[in-house]
């Protein structure tokens, strides 16, 4: 049966539009490839480096380090028109120059852990991914206590390489071994050594990056304002960091880790109340975080309870730790049987949940979970009362089918001594601890995802009375698109009074806002 004339015209119009879009995309691919070859010859064949959607390896390369798969199933996000898997610095330079020339934006992926997927998807811009996974060497200078770390390395690779050279040095950064340093260092970077040595960004002493013009700059040539901005302000707003020079941190030959678990019947509420009061004021060699979540318990009222895990690292021996805990936190009931003495590198395995496995597991950068997740963050400046904690526990227990977890990490120590303006990471003196609200799920259907996201937002709203205000602060590395897409709104939450200085630096180094994403620093004239 023949189609009506009007419908035939509509179908023809759609086909022509689709063909035009495909032709335009193919032309972009070809012109980009020619530009890329012109700027990288004779270093490599681009066929092994640049992937377009019509190449067989495209999907495998795209998914190779995606840590949050819900963005693959979101209709509002677009995938890259090309992926550049850089194997040397000239590939990164060429990617920037050729993207600008052909009207494409750039997203940079190091480990793929961006909490909102901004390193590999976009809500509108036509873009390429510059994947840095192949640029991951770590060069340790044991004599001077420093290391040059390429931005594609993971934290696990960094820690392994450092310990291989010297078992009594480590580095103050995060706990998850598969996180890429490119984003983590540039957003601050907190972990078990932060109370002793500050954030990862506090320990960066030099860097090399590709700027908007494709030039490679180091600390001296970029200037101190630019260098300041990429150590806590999110480097993706300012260029593509190739490598960082970091100052290594002393750790003793023996450290001690422990896990002590308490439920409501075991006075978890009173213990968390006490932890809030002492956690930020403990010996800076002692880090104790609390991970709280609701659990089924047939013997508890309502068959639900709260499990509070006191997860700790002490830079010293069990004997020394027993003395410290006995004087500062006797209520926890910590005893010698709870001690796990080990090397600092082994403590990395302990916190990652890899205890008993060979340290070489830290070199495995593949995504640990094929899952989706959502997180948010808050800073607490006044202790939450015992009564308020009971209300929070009740909220968690009522969310029966929701995998909500509260991860509370102590501040204090050296973090109190570093000025808020020293780096763009402003969360210093006055913060007792940071809360990360986290949930992970494995289903891929839209209904389940929306339900989980809704519960996370409800929890965040519920916590409003108990956390920082004016602004309600947030941590950049726990990126949260719910904070908005308007820089005036989210900027002060992530950066407080440092936000305007970041926008000023942006206006100097990238005035036309080439390096941008849904929550990137805008030039100051755009505020």
Q: Which residues are catalytic?
A: 478
Dihedrals φ, ψ of 105, to 5°?
-95, 170
Helices 268-278 and 386-398: crossing angle in degrees, nearest 10, is 120
Q: What is the 3-state secondary structure (H, E, C) of 310-334?
A: EEEEECCCHHHHHHHHHHHCHHHCC
Alpha helices by DSSP H, listed for 41-134, are: 58-63, 89-101
For the CA atoms of the chain, what is the radius of gyration? Answer: 24
CA 321 – CA 99 distance, rounded (Å): 55
Residue 438's nearest CA partner among 480, 400, 379 is: 480
Residue 136's nearest CA partner among 125, 147, 123, 121 is: 147
Burial class (CB in 10 A: 0-12, 13-18, 19+), 336: exposed
Q: Is 165 helix (H, G, I), strand (E, B) or coil?
A: helix
Within 13 Å and on the Cβ side, how many CA atoms surround 142?
A: 9
In 37-174, which ranges are E strands?
Answer: 50-51, 82-85, 105-109, 127-131, 138-141, 146-150, 169-170
- Share of the chain residues as helix, strand and coil, in percent rounded to the nearest 5: 40, 20, 40
Cis peptide before 269 (omega within 30 of 0): no
C-alpha distances out from residue 19 to 26, 27, 55, Å: 10, 12, 19
- Report which DSSP code applies to 78: B
């Amino acid at each position: 049966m023949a189609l009506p004339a009007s419908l035939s015209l509509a179908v023809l119009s759609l086909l022509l539009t689709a063909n035009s879009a495909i032709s335009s995309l193919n032309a972009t691919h070809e012109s980009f490839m020619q530009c890329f070859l012109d700027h990288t010859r004779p270093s490599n064949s681009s066929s092994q480096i640049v992937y377009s959607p019509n190449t067989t390896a495209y999907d495998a390369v795209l998914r190779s380090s995606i840590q949050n798969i819900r963005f693959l199933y979101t209709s509002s996000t677009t995938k890259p028109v090309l992926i550049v898997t850089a194997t040397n610095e000239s590939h990164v330079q060429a990617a920037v120059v050729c993207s600008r020339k052909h009207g494409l934006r750039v997203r940079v992926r190091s480990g793929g852990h961006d909490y909102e997927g901004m390193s590999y998807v976009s809500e509108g811009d036509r873009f390429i991914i510059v994947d840095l996974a192949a640029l991951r060497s770590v060069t340790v200078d044991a004599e001077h206590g420093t290391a040059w770390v390429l931005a594609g390395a993971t934290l696990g690779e960094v820690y392994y390489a450092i310990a291989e050279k010297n078992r009594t040095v480590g580095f103050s950064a995060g706990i998850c071994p598969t996180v890429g340093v490119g984003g983590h260092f540039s957003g601050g970077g907190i972990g078990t050594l932060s109370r002793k040595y500050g954030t990862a960004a506090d320990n960066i002493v030099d860097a090399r990056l590709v700027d908007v013009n494709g030039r490679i700059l180091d600390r001296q040539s970029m200037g101190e304002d630019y260098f300041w901005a990429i150590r806590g302000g999110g480097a993706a707003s300012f260029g593509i960091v190739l490598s960082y020079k970091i100052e290594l941190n002393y750790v003793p030959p023996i450290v001690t880790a422990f896990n002590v678990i308490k439920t409501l019947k075991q006075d978890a509420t009173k213990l968390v109340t006490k932890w809030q009061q002492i956690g930020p004021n403990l010996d800076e060699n002692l880090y104790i975080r609390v991970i709280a979540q609701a659990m089924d318990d047939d013997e508890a009222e309502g068959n639900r309870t709260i499990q509070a895990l006191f997860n700790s690292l002490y830079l010293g021996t069990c004997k020394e730790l027993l003395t410290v805990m006995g004087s500062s936190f006797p209520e926890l009931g910590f005893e010698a049987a709870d001690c796990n003495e080990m090397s600092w590198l082994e403590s990395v395995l302990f916190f990652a949940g890899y205890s008993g496995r060979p340290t070489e597991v830290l070199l495995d950068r593949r995504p640990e979970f094929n899952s989706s997740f959502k997180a948010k963050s808050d800073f607490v400046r006044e202790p939450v009362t015992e009564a308020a904690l009971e209300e929070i526990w009740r909220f968690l227990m009522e969310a029966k089918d929701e995998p909500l977890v509260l991860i509370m990490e102590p501040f204090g120590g050296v973090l109190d001594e570093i000025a808020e303006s020293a780096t763009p990471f402003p969360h210093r003196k006055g913060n007792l601890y940071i809360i990360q609200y986290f949930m992970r799920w494995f289903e891929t259907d839209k209904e389940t995802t929306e339900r989980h996201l809704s519960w996370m937002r409800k929890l965040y709203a519920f916590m409003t009375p108990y956390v920082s205000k004016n602004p309600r602060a947030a941590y950049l590395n726990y990126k949260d698109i719910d904070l908005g897409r308007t820089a005036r709104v989210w900027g002060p939450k992530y950066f407080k009074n440092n936000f305007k200085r970041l926008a000023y630096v942006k206006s100097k180094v990238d005035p036309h806002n080439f390096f941008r994403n849904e929550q990137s620093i805008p030039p100051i004239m755009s505020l």
